[in-house]
């Protein structure tokens, strides 16, 4: 131990000098994640996007990230640290980072900021989001075709617009095939608790659901489906390895292309704050290969995917709210503002939305 210590001491001076000298001309791109990158879900997918960008842009950039940053005071420090450490473009990946990022962006006008899923922009702050609901419409159609009982089990985390939007879109998709389709909904109050998600899946199957949908991150629910020889959909990443016979498809987040394009813009000096909501057509929302289903269902799913990529919005009227009051007239398309603040169910959902 003593030897080690001495060896360490002799190298001190050299290292403290060398540490800061390298990589001055590379563009530094940085990320702030809300969860651990080991969640194999939301934060994991963002980090995959970072790795893709690093791979695509090679030695023109260097990247850094902070994981597990809680929303609140820690977030502000995280952004400030990255800005001070020479990051030129910073991606904040969680809604809860919004106010922290707005504050820090004002303080560092020369740094480019991007915030996922928020709605506040600034001179050097852009926002980006993905239309996951587009994919959920396809899931709904597949579920209605594949379900024998006509009931899906839906495991959800928290009643935020993003999640409510997803449930509605899924149901609209399902109802387009089977008007009497039902979904049983269980809120687990967590993005990530594999045990609880597995228990929820079992409870839903026990109550007659034969297809499981989730808006939580772990693979647990699909593994239960695999065990019970039933079906389900993956979330965030392709989970086929976990459920080779159960996964119908998986709704995956692909941030890589977007990150590459934005960092490239920063390299070219053409970056401007933007407000984008990417969907299937941009490649940000992807459906993993369709498996474990007959060819006609697969063809239908692919057709719907194509239709949405062509610009059709699943929230196209006529749509009524849960209590029967009309919401969208025939042919009317929901505007993005309503979707982003969605706090009501569409007709045909049995659950009561937690308020």
Quick one: which of 158, 277, 307, 320 contacts another protein (CB under 8 A)?
158
| Beta carbon of residue 210, minimum distance to another protein (angstroms, whole number) | 13
Q: Please report, as residue ranges, which positions from 222 to 281 form the binding site for another protein (by CB under 8 A).
A: 223, 237, 241-242
Quick one: which of 60, 70, 106, 303 contacts another protein (CB under 8 A)?
70
Q: Please report, as residue ranges, which positions from 275 to 314 form the binding site for another protein (by CB under 8 A).
A: none
Whether the CB-CB separation of 344 and 353 falls below 8 Å is answered with yes
| Beta carbon of residue 132, minimum distance to another protein (angstroms, whole number) | 16
Q: Which ranges of the chain would DSSP assign to H, the alpha helix?
A: 2-10, 12-18, 42-57, 73-84, 98-107, 132-146, 161-177, 194-206, 220-227, 256-268, 295-309, 336-340
- For another protein, give the closer residue by CB, 263 or 301: 263
| Beta carbon of residue 133, minimum distance to another protein (angstroms, whole number) | 14
Closest alpha carbon to 152 in 128, 121, 116, 186: 186
15 lines the binding site for another protein (CB under 8 A)? yes
Q: How far apart are CA 138 and CA 261, in angstroms?
A: 27
- For another protein, give the closer residue by CB, 31 or 304: 31
38 lines the binding site for another protein (CB under 8 A)? yes
Closest alpha carbon to 154 in 170, 172, 142, 141: 170
| Beta carbon of residue 20, minimum distance to another protein (angstroms, whole number) | 10
Question: Beta-carbon neighbour count of residue 332 at 10 Å?
Answer: 14
Q: How far apart are CA 226 and CA 148, in angstroms?
A: 17
- For another protein, give the closer residue by CB, 82 or 288: 82
| Beta carbon of residue 27, minimum distance to another protein (angstroms, whole number) | 15
Q: How far apart are CA 93 and CA 39, in angstroms?
A: 14
Q: Please report, as residue ranges, which positions from 160 to 199 form the binding site for another protein (by CB under 8 A).
A: 160-161, 164, 184-190, 192-199
Site string for another protein, 85-104 (x = CB under 8 A): x---------xx--x-----
Q: Which residues pair with 247 in a beta bridge?
A: 232
Encoded tokens for 354: 């937690």
Closest alpha carbon to 281 in 307, 263, 255: 307
Q: Please report, as residue ranges, which positions from 117 to 156 form the binding site for another protein (by CB under 8 A).
A: 119, 153
Q: How far apart are CA 33 and CA 68, in angstroms?
A: 6
9 lines the binding site for another protein (CB under 8 A)? yes
332 lines the binding site for another protein (CB under 8 A)? no
Distances (CA, A) of 314 to 222, 252, 300, 302: 26, 18, 15, 15
- For another protein, give the closer residue by CB, 227 or 282: 227
Quick one: which of 51, 52, 56, 71 contacts another protein (CB under 8 A)?
71
Quick one: which of 218, 247, 252, 313 contacts another protein (CB under 8 A)?
218
336 lines the binding site for another protein (CB under 8 A)? no
8 lines the binding site for another protein (CB under 8 A)? yes
Distances (CA, A) of 331 to 173, 319, 334: 16, 10, 10
106 lines the binding site for another protein (CB under 8 A)? no
- For another protein, give the closer residue by CB, 38 or 283: 38
Q: Which ranges of 207-274 would DSSP assign to H, the alpha helix?
A: 220-227, 256-268
Q: How far apart are CA 219 and CA 236, in angstroms?
A: 10
- For another protein, give the closer residue by CB, 331 or 337: 337
- For another protein, give the closer residue by CB, 17 or 270: 17
Total residues contacting another protein by CB under 8 A comes to 84
């Amino acid at each position: 131990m003593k030897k080690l210590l001495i060896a360490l001491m002799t190298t001190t001076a050299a290292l403290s000098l060398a540490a800061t000298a390298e990589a001055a001309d590379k563009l530094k791109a940085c990320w702030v994640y809300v969860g651990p990158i080991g969640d194999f879900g939301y934060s994991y997918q963002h980090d995959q996007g970072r790795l893709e960008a690093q791979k695509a842009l090679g030695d023109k950039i260097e990247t850094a990230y902070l994981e597990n940053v809680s929303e609140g005071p820690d977030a502000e420090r995280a952004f400030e640290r990255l800005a001070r450490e020479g990051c030129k473009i910073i991606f904040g990946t969680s809604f809860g980072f919004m106010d922290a990022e707005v504050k820090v962006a004002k303080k560092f006008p020369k740094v480019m900021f991007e915030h996922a899923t928020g709605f506040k922009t600034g001179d050097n702050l852009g926002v980006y989001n993905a239309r996951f609901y587009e994919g959920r419409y396809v899931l709904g159609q597949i579920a209605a075709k594949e379900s024998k009982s006509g009931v899906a089990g839906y495991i959800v985390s928290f009643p935020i617009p993003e999640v409510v939007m997803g449930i509605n879109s899924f149901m609209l998709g399902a109802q387009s095939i089977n008007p009497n389709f039902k979904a049983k909904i269980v809120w687990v109050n967590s993005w990530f608790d594999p045990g609880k998600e597995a228990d929820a899946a079992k409870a839903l199957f026990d109550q007659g659901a034969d297809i499981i949908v989730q808006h939580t991150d772990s693979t647990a629910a699909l593994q239960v489906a695999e065990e019970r020889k039933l079906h389900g959909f993956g979330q965030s990443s392709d989970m086929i390895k976990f459920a080779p016979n159960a996964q119908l498809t998986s709704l995956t987040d692909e941030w890589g292309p977007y990150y590459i394009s934005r960092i490239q813009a920063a390299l070219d000096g053409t970056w401007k704050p933007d407000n984008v909501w990417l969907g299937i057509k941009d490649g940000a929302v992807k459906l993993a290969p369709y498996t474990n289903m007959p060819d006609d269902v697969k063809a239908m799913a692919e057709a719907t995917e194509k239709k949405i990529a062509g610009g059709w919005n699943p929230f196209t009227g006529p749509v009524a709210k849960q209590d029967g009051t009309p919401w969208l007239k025939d042919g009317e398309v929901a505007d993005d503002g309503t979707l982003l603040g969605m706090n009501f169910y569409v007709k045909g959902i049995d659950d009561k939305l937690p308020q």
